[in-house]
Amino acid sequence: MAFEELGELLDESIELPVGGRLYTVPAPSAEIGLRTQALIHAAAVAADGGRADEQVLGDAAERDLYRDVLGPAHDEMIADGVKWPTLKHAAITAMVWIAQDKTAAERYWTAAGDPSRLAPNRAARRSQSGAASSTPSRGSSSGTSTRPAPARGAGKKARKRH
């Protein structure tokens, strides 16, 4: 079995619908992809209270990362007068795609960047998982019953009174 051409196997672009137009964001160069992943990792470390690599964060600040990750779609959005929040959301969606995958980018896009909308709420998770619709009572952890306790005094040898 021979390997197929990799370009035929990978999604090498994402399409972002904005204001009735579809913007195509091509896959970035390896350099931009590696820099984007390093930046996202450094930001995650800093968000968790760790010490981020200041050189990585400094390098990212020196360059126009949004232009890099959006490619030609960046200039098209600017020419079309796209507002800042939209451009920013598109760029971060592209960064998620680069650092993770297309599915994660679609989730981010659909959630409009709102973290509370990224994870479904408990009711939605339960309805999708096929889990039980009610919780067993606290006294029953397995759903099985136990033998009833013997009546008071039953089963004990009667004590003799002296």
60-69's contacts with Cβ under 8 Å and 24+ in sequence apart are 60/35, 63/35, 65/35, 65/36, 65/39, 65/91, 65/95, 66/91, 68/28, 68/32, 68/35, 68/36, 69/25, 69/28, 69/32, 69/36, 69/94, 69/95, 69/98
Scan for tokens 């759903």, then name that residue: 143
At 66 the pLDDT is 92
Q: What residues does each domain of the chain span?
A: 15-116
At 51 the pLDDT is 73
Read off the pLDDT of residues 107-124 as tens digits, 9 standing for 90 and up: 999 998 777 776 654 445
As a whole number of angstroms, the distance between CA 12 and CA 31 comes to 15
Amino acid type, 74: H
Beta-bridge partners for 22: 17
At 161 the pLDDT is 54
As a whole number of angstroms, the distance between CA 15 and CA 25 comes to 6
Closest CA to 70 of 53, 45, 93: 93
Read off the pLDDT of residues 17-33 as tens digits, 9 standing for 90 and up: 999 999 999 999 999 99
Segment holding 126, helix H or strand E = helix 122-129
**pTM attached to this predicted model:** 0.64
At 110 the pLDDT is 93
Q: Give the end-to-end CA distance of the chain in Å, rounded to a whole number.
A: 94
Read off the pLDDT of residues 55-89 as tens digits, 9 standing for 90 and up: 666 655 556 889 999 999 999 999 999 999 999 99
